[in-house]
Structure 1
Amino acid sequence: MRKLLLFTGLLLFNYSLMAQQPPSGSNYITLRNVSYGGTEDNVFDAYLPESHDAKTKIIVYLHGGGWTGGDKKELPKQLINELVGKMHYGVVSMNYRLIRDGKNVYPAQLDDIRKALSFISSKAERFQFDGSQFALIGGSAGAYLALQYAYAYDSLRQIKTVADLWGPTDFTDKKIRQENKEADEKVVRLLGGETDPGAKLAYAASPFHQLSAKNGVPTLIFHGEEDPLVDISQSVKLYDKLTSLQIPVQFEKYPGEKHGVSPLAALDVFSKLINWLKQYYPAE
């Protein structure tokens, strides 16, 4: 949703282009604005370890911005350095279609994720990385998309874990609807003008309601306790349901933090995210 405090022609996926990238100083190769679809929004940045091979796992990051703004550039360089340069994951930070003039409403963004993952998978054999599985990390609006894709759209069961940074989870909940005008306006815009929190669309578009024992994946949740935009109860509900379904989950709450976290809390987020990946999506 709003810009995070923490994560402040078609191009071919061409190996010669990768080889031309200057050394990053962090032992990885950077690809900018790789096109995976037919619009200007359908691009991603990719970061691959210099020593990548067919076992190199891919993590995909989805930016925030209320589904009307934001950009792939918000993924912090220090996290890229850690995940790619030190731990040897491949990381993709992707843009998706943004809502403009009532167009590109739900589920356009979910369709873009599917398209991007399919594109990445199609290049795995040629460029030597593992395209059969993914971890999703998202911030705010991007966290919502990561959860909804994993629980409701991943028909191939490629998503092995999700990290949710203060994302909304239930569009039928008054805490982000009737009692929160700013959040409600963003949800209504995403849902193409549907204003009724009790509508079938609000239910179908909610990760909390789509989650089941069959489609759930290990989920890591972060949330500031004073978040004025996405009430922390959204994460509490999701955590409780994951726990009841006996799906691995970890919930990290940050007292005094709002929508996004301070630099000090960000260090804790990074540390816990890395430890979670080591357990549920190890690089090797």
Structure 2
Amino acid sequence: MNYFKIILMTVGFTVLSCSTGHEISGVENSVSPTKEEVLKNVKYGPFERNLMDVYLPANRDPKSAFLVNIHGGAWTQGDKRFDDKLSEYLVSQGVAVANLNYRYADLQDTHLPQLLDDINNVVKYLSEHSKEWNTRKTGFSISGGSSGAHVSMMYAYTRNPAIKTIIERCGPVDFTDIQTLQYIKAANLFEVLDKMSGNKAVWNPGDVVPELYAKTSPIKFVNKIPIMIIHGDKDEVVPIQQAYLLESALKAKGTTYKLVIVPGAGHQIEKLPQDQQTVFTEMTSWLKHYGTN
């Protein structure tokens, strides 16, 4: 099984970007709470990739769900455009979305903590503009696909206990699993994992698992935040076993969760129209239940 293969690649399909909306960079724009608004390329932090598209639903209020969404791409690639369709669907269903870019991990000084700093700056920006937008000030929801799912879980579990709910889509959860590490080594993929984790040690079969692999494994930090897991049972990148490992940890913790298995779906879980509809409707239902109030 070609584990984590597509995590190393830019997603191989095109998502059209919403052409309407405001182009802003830290500039106050007048918005109406009764109308759907899309604010494009909002500058939320000091770095080049600190841009997000903010989707504000019509007739919103401070109790409406507000999702922070993180794209995939092996922590080193990808773009918020990957999730334009998801954002457009959710806003049409009354869910606000901040669909964001964030710094890429590297071997020098940008690792998971720096990525989480970017997510934290997004949440701060959303909170600071809640009155202007008539949106919630706290209690945001968070989601991501693939490596974005990993980042979303780590943010909720280690940085922000006020996150109301998590939706993780096809994410890796355990980098201490020996079988997983053996595959990563055989596929020469440790550089990507080390960019994210900041690990500098060389792992060989029989060695102790590096501490930074444990410290960046969401399964080690599971808490009571309600979570939805969405995974294809034919995922060729992050095997569905990762979802089952997370499910076991959630059960042990007594966490409210839902596991959605998409039959026949691979890592590009939204590739087929019927699978995309399943993912989008499941997410909407979950967010309206656990992301509101």
TM-score interval (norm. to shorter): 0.7 to 0.9
Partner of 1:277 in structure 2? 287
Asked whether the 8 Å contact 1:144–1:168 carries over to 2, the reply is yes
For the residues of structure 2 that align with 1:183 and 1:250, how far apart are their CA atoms?
Answer: 31
Asked whether the 8 Å contact 1:6–1:260 carries over to 2, the reply is no
The number of aligned residues is: 267
Of all paired residues, the percent bearing the same amino acid is 30
Asked whether the 8 Å contact 2:139–2:291 carries over to 1, the reply is no
Partner of 1:94 in structure 2? 100
1:23-102 correspondence runs (5 A): 28-77=36-85, 79-85=86-92, 87-100=93-106, 102=108
Q: Does residue 1:221 correspond to 2:229, yes or no?
A: yes
Asked whether the 8 Å contact 2:89–2:280 carries over to 1, the reply is no
Give 1:53's aligned amino acid: D
Asked whether the 8 Å contact 2:106–2:195 carries over to 1, the reply is no
Give 2:154's aligned amino acid: Q
Give 2:26's aligned amino acid: L
> Structure 1 segments of 4 or more deviating over 6 A?
none
Asked whether the 8 Å contact 2:75–2:104 carries over to 1, the reply is yes
For the residues of structure 1 that align with 2:282 and 2:94, how far apart are their CA atoms?
Answer: 17
| C-alpha distance 6-222 of structure 1, shift in aligned 2 (>3 A) | farther
Helix, strand or coil for the counterpart of 2:115? helix
Asked whether the 8 Å contact 1:59–1:137 carries over to 2, the reply is yes
Partner of 1:24 in structure 2? none
Partner of 1:170 in structure 2? 174
Partner of 1:250 in structure 2? 258
Asked whether the 8 Å contact 1:151–1:216 carries over to 2, the reply is no
Helix, strand or coil for the counterpart of 2:164? strand
Helix, strand or coil for the counterpart of 1:268? helix
Q: Does residue 1:235 correspond to 2:243, yes or no?
A: yes
Match of 1:14 among 15, 28, 39: 28
Partner of 2:4 in structure 1? none
Asked whether the 8 Å contact 1:166–1:230 carries over to 2, the reply is yes
**Cα distance, 1:3 vs structure 2:** 3.6
For the residues of structure 2 that align with 1:243 and 1:183, how far apart are their CA atoms?
Answer: 31
| C-alpha distance 237-5 of structure 1, shift in aligned 2 (>3 A) | farther
TM-score normalised per structure 2: 0.83
For the residues of structure 1 that align with 2:287 and 2:188, how far apart are their CA atoms?
Answer: 33
For the residues of structure 2 that align with 1:7 and 1:207, how far apart are their CA atoms?
Answer: 29
| C-alpha distance 55-185 of structure 1, shift in aligned 2 (>3 A) | same
Q: Does residue 1:161 correspond to 2:165, yes or no?
A: yes
Give 2:277's aligned amino acid: L
Residue-by-residue CA offset, 1:10-52 (whole Å, 9 max, x unaligned)? 9225123x57xxxxxxx52111111111111111100112433
